Structure 1
Amino acid sequence: MTDTSLPDTTPSTSVPTTERVVRTIAETAIEHEQYFGDLDSVVGDGDFGYSLARGFEKLLEGWDDLDRSTPGAFLKRSGMVITSRIGGTSGPIWGTGFLRAGMTAGVDEVITPDRLVAMLRAGVEGIMARGGASLGDKTLLDSLVPFIDALERGFAAGDPPADVLAAAAVACRTAADGTADLVAKRGRAAYTGERSRGSVDAGATALAVLAERLAVVWRS
């Protein structure tokens, strides 16, 4: 039977694996600040890239002080920093995702594929409750949910984790590109109505970029 457990998920190395994932997300968000801002400026106020980058910079500045007792504790603490440091609506949305994922991880020292999917789905539920958004509203949910669905299918099929993440990144990108066909119903873009159709959602596309970077890092 194919081993579908995540790399480095023994009690002694599960936290470093979580650190690796979060740090990759933070560094990628900072690196793509201008790109994310340009995407947001099409129908939004253009501050998405700036806000995301500043928040994750604060996370990295306090990196050594984050709680590393368990993966869940690390994610919850990261979520608190993100919520307090990322401006606008992005902070509560992204921070809630991290917080809910961390809460679902609980005190477990090992994150199994099933638990990972549950953590991500809890993050989605938290984001929906916090922002009032649903699938099809042209938000980051429209690429996040397909990403999680692809992960779940891949793990259930017993595929190698690196292949699962690579396929999920493709699903995330396809869904993000598909937001160009949607009309925004949340955020500042919602005020533009039909004019929001034809451009991709900045948050959904940012998630695709992050997923693609994680897939590359994981395989390497």
Structure 2
Amino acid sequence: MNGTELVVRTIAETAIANEKYFGDLDSVVGDGDFGYSLARGFEKLLDGWADLDRTNAGSFLKRCGMTIASRIGGTSGPIWGTAFLRAGAAAGEPLDRARVAAMLRAAIDGIKARGQSDVGDKTLLDALVPFTDSLEKSGDLATAARAAREAAEATSAMVAKRGRAAYTGERSRGSVDAGAMAVAVIAERISDVWQPEVTGS
């Protein structure tokens, strides 16, 4: 299994393993279906794992994105699917630190456009952007995962401006964003399974 496949499989397995946790976080100010939707979508991805296009990293990620977009319910499907599609479009060789950062930036831009959101709106971007910034700077996944965790926890002080949680206004303050925490948990798991640093320039 190459690096790209390892990362995607880790994302899928982590989403499935944390279904209840992510759902519980979402139920505080959302409709509580985030964990369920994410888990079912990634289960479908793993069900068809053997048949995914592995011509190159870009093709693989795009196929994953299309599967995720069609299988994850609610607003999460288009958002997560777009992230994979955009990352796939930016993929190339060598898969060094600069390339990985470019793929993450492309995913971030796609999420911003699709969700009409930005950093500070209390969404997964509030953890994904700090994660990307840290990884681009240090090349160390553990350091980047810590940045994602700290940023996700900091969303508890924010008022949601996007998604169902936005309807709750001030009531959304005091709880972390489920999407941001999902990014942090996934980043930590990827850091655990990918021991070497992402190197290159």
TM-score past 0.5 threshold: yes
1:164-203 correspondence to structure 2 within 5 Å: 164-203=140-179
Q: Could you tell me how far apart the structure 2 residues matched to 1:145 and 1:130 are?
A: 16
Task: Look up the SS of the partner of 1:192 in the other structure.
Answer: helix
Q: Percent identity?
A: 70
1:145 is matched with which residue: 107, 114, 129? 129
After superposition, what is the alpha-carbon deviation per residue over 1:108-161, rounded to whole angstroms, capped at 9, x for unaligned? 343121011001000000000000001100000000000000001103xxxxxx
Q: Quote the offset at 1:16 in angstroms.
A: 1.6
Task: Look up the SS of the partner of 1:111 in the other structure.
Answer: coil
1:103-114 correspondence to structure 2 within 5 Å: 103-105=89-91, 108-114=92-98
Q: Could you tell me how far apart the structure 1 residues matched to 2:137 and 2:179 are?
A: 24
1:84 is matched with which residue: 67, 70, 89? 70
2:109 is aligned to 125
Task: Look up the SS of the partner of 1:219 in the other structure.
Answer: coil
Q: Could you tell me how far apart the structure 2 residues matched to 1:27 and 1:135 are?
A: 26
* AA aligned opposite 2:174: G
Q: Tell whether 2:191 aligns with 1:215.
A: yes
**Structure-2 change in CA distance of 1:18 and 1:86 (3 Å):** same
Task: Look up the SS of the partner of 2:2 in the other structure.
Answer: helix
Q: Which runs of 5+ in 2 are unaligned?
A: 197-201
Q: Could you tell me how far apart the structure 2 residues matched to 1:134 and 1:61 are?
A: 33
Task: Look up the SS of the partner of 2:123 in the other structure.
Answer: coil
* AA aligned opposite 2:191: A
Q: Quote the offset at 1:172 in angstroms.
A: 0.1
Is residue 55–residue 85 contact of structure 1 (8 Å, CA) maintained in 2? yes
Structure whose CA Rg is larger: 1
Is residue 56–residue 82 contact of structure 1 (8 Å, CA) maintained in 2? yes
Q: How many correspondences in the alignment?
A: 196
RMSD: 1.0
If the length of structure 1 is used for normalisation, what is the TM-score? 0.87
2:199 is aligned to none
* AA aligned opposite 1:171: A
Q: Tell whether 2:76 aligns with 1:100.
A: no
Task: Look up the SS of the partner of 2:77 in the other structure.
Answer: helix
Q: Could you tell me how far apart the structure 2 residues matched to 1:25 and 1:135 are?
A: 22
2:36 is aligned to 50
Q: Which runs of 5+ in 1 are unaligned?
A: 1-14, 156-163
1:4-83 correspondence to structure 2 within 5 Å: 16-83=2-69
Query: Runs of at least 4 residues of structure 1 off by over 3 A?
Result: none
If the length of structure 2 is used for normalisation, what is the TM-score? 0.96
